[in-house]
């Protein structure tokens, strides 16, 4: 049988370093250096080994700054929609619903702008006003809601999220733009026949 481990202790009077075996814990002994009596303390219990916390998966999101550019190029609703997916990935469902609301609102602005341009008596009339209205609506979204996500992401420690691939949004945005163009062409042709 192996000898019991000796635990270091110290005399409270002279500071002499002592070591004691488990049989001496809680007993009174005489210090060999200063001959004063002392009680050998019980060692402090070792805290149990805590299990390692399961690491939470790092969310993958799109760069919030680029989402505004997508809105400018392909349709106002694209940026807020991507922001809503980012908020969802970050676990912020309240912010995701607000972003979806913005996406639907800006989709409505897109529909109204397009309707305005298509109902003009001369082709191409109203494009400037439509562009200014769209740009103003986009800036309102960026200032009122879009920058919040950008600030939150920049405020995080680097590496707390993964960059998400842009392939889906690029092809989705191109599809959205093609459907929009086709709908505008069909509507424009129908209106010209009236």
Tally of helices (H runs) and strands (E runs) in the chain: 6, 6
List per-residue pLDDT tens for the chain, 194 residues long. 455 555 556 777 887 777 777 887 888 888 888 888 878 777 777 666 655 555 667 788 998 988 888 888 888 999 999 999 999 998 999 999 999 999 999 999 998 988 888 787 776 677 888 889 999 999 999 999 999 998 888 877 666 778 889 999 889 888 888 887 787 777 766 666 66
* Burial tier of 67 (Cβ tally within 10 Å: 0-12, 13-18, 19+): buried
8 Å CB contact between 38 and 11: yes
Q: Record the pTM.
A: 0.64
Instruction: Tell me the domain boundaries of the chain.
Output: 62-185
Task: Give 74's contacts (C-beta < 8 A, 6+ positions apart).
Answer: 173, 174, 176, 177
């Amino acid at each position: 049988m192996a000898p019991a481990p000796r635990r270091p202790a110290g005399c409270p009077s002279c500071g002499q370093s002592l070591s004691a075996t488990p049989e001496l814990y809680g007993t009174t002994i005489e210090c060999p250096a200063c001959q004063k009596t002392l009680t050998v303390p019980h060692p402090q219990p070792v805290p149990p080994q805590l299990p390692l916390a399961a690491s939470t998966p790092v969310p993958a999101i799109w760069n919030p700054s680029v989402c505004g550019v997508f809105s400018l190029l392909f349709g106002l609703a694209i940026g807020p929609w991507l922001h809503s997916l980012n908020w969802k990935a970050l676990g912020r469902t309240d912010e995701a619903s607000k972003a979806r609301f913005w996406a639907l609102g800006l989709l409505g602005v897109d529909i109204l702008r397009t309707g305005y341009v298509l109902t003009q008596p001369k082709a191409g009339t109203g494009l400037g006003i439509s562009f200014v209205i769209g740009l103003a609506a986009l800036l309102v979204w960026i200032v009122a809601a879009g920058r919040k996500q950008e600030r939150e992401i920049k405020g995080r420690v680097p590496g707390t999220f993964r960059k998400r691939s842009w392939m889906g949004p690029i092809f989705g945005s191109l599809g959205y733009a093609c459907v929009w163009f086709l709908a505008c062409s069909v509507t424009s042709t129908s209106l010209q026949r009236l």
